A and B are shown apart, each in its own frame.
Chain A
Amino acid sequence: MAGGREIVKKIGSVQNTQKVTSAMQMVAASKMRRTQDRMEEARPYARRIRNVIGHLANASAEYRHRYMVSRDVKNIGYIVISTDKGQCGGLNSNMFRTLIQDIRAWERKDVPASLALVGNKAAGFFRSVGGNVVAAINNVGENPEVESLIGGIRRMLDLFEEESIDRLDLVSNQFVNSMTHRPQIEQLLPLDPDPEDSYKHMWDYLYEPDAEELIEGLVQRFLESQVYEAVVENTACEQAARMIAMKNATDNAEEMIEELTLLYNNARQASITQEIAEIVGGAAALE
């Protein structure tokens, strides 16, 4: 039987762990507010520019920009958004699972994948799993900035232009609400026509000054805003997931403490009973 002192020690250590997890829960909860605000702020721009790009892809332009032309997919590129830190439940691993399934599906069609990774966790994951990583952005931090993402985006755009990849997807977590986060894979390039667009007849924009230059600038801005939005959204997911994970850990620690206390009381009771029995036994032997 485990001695009473060992159990007391164990209770103490579980209590310490519980203090840490409950502090982390509270920190995550307060950060979640802020990251959610950022996400809300990034949304209008990202949504509008997606609309404009949708219109653009639908326009029956004389000039088809190479970003709009669908080629046979021989190589696929992914921009993967992950978190920098762990302790956020299955957030990253769920997304990686979805991604790996998608990569496998393409591989069965003999389409190899190239990856641009954002966040330390993705880098760590693909270091152990293996994969063709062409760009990595680490330490995005809690206040991601567009500037820090441009390098990776530029790299994927270059690959698309030199036809080393024929399709570019964005993989990230979607913030449904603070309890639910859904991994999603979204096509960035070639530009996807907006299916809900009501202007389906023949029309085209007037371009000022020049279609090519304009579309190039717009697409660059589009990718930046989509990736930025995904990163900001992922950060909100991260904090929410961490809050939930840490709440679970705190609850589990509580349960464990209760069990250990019960065990300790039993052990204490047992040792008292045994002592009494020994005294009684000794007294009986003297008579």
Chain B
Amino acid sequence: MAATMRCEIVSAENEIFSGEVTMVIATGTLGELGIMPGHTPLLTGLKPGPVRLQMEDGEEDVFFASGGFLEVQPNVVTILADTAEHADTIDDMAAAEAIEAAERAMSEAAADMDYSRATAMLADATARQRTIEELKKRRR
């Protein structure tokens, strides 16, 4: 049997996931991270993007985190997400619409809409879409 560790995902609104996993794959500020049991203690920021959890039975579960922090302690991975949701609950259409809206906001980036906010919106929306695609790939 594969070695496991605890993984806990919480967002400011509630507890999203808590259980034993064999691997956590997330997007840190410096790039993709794959964390397995026995990883050295690590503290990193998270970029908006999918968080994939590999379960003991080989199943994979996908969550979406729009930024936050990830802490690795021997045997525990804690993800403090700004907002997190189960990938199933993200609406495909809503994500596409959000991307469109963000791109429009950026092209119209006149004085009234500040540019950095628009980029953040775009990053968030594309991250959501990435999560959905990830999920779809798995379903196929």
How many chain B residues touch A (Cβ–Cβ < 8 Å)? 22
Binds A, one of B8-16, B50-58, B96-104: B8-16
Binds B, one of A20-28, A38-46, A150-158, A173-181: A38-46
A221 with B42, Cβ < 8 A, contacts A208-B28, A208-B29 known: no
A56 with B13, Cβ < 8 A, contacts A48-B8, A51-B78, A199-B73 known: no
Inter-chain contact B14/A44, CB cutoff 8 Å: yes
Interface of A is mostly: helix
Interface string of B37-49 (1 = CB under 8 A from A): 0001111110000
Inter-chain contact B41/A44, CB cutoff 8 Å: no
Contact for A41 among B14, B41, B44, B78, CB less than 8 A = B14
Inter-chain contact A206/B40, CB cutoff 8 Å: yes
- Residues in A with CB closer than 8 Å to B28 are 208
The answer to whether the Cβ of A69 comes within 8 Å of any Cβ in the partner chain is no
A217 with B71, Cβ < 8 A, contacts A44-B15, A48-B8, A225-B12 known: no
The answer to whether the Cβ of A49 comes within 8 Å of any Cβ in the partner chain is yes
- Residues in B with CB closer than 8 Å to A7 are none
Inter-chain contact B73/A55, CB cutoff 8 Å: yes
The answer to whether the Cβ of A126 comes within 8 Å of any Cβ in the partner chain is no
The answer to whether the Cβ of B1 comes within 8 Å of any Cβ in the partner chain is no
Min CB distance A227 to B, Å, is: 12
Residues of B within 8 A of A (CB): 8, 10-15, 28-30, 40-45, 69, 71, 73-74, 78, 80
List 3 A-B pairs, minimum CB-CB distance, nearest first.
A208-B44, A44-B15, A205-B43
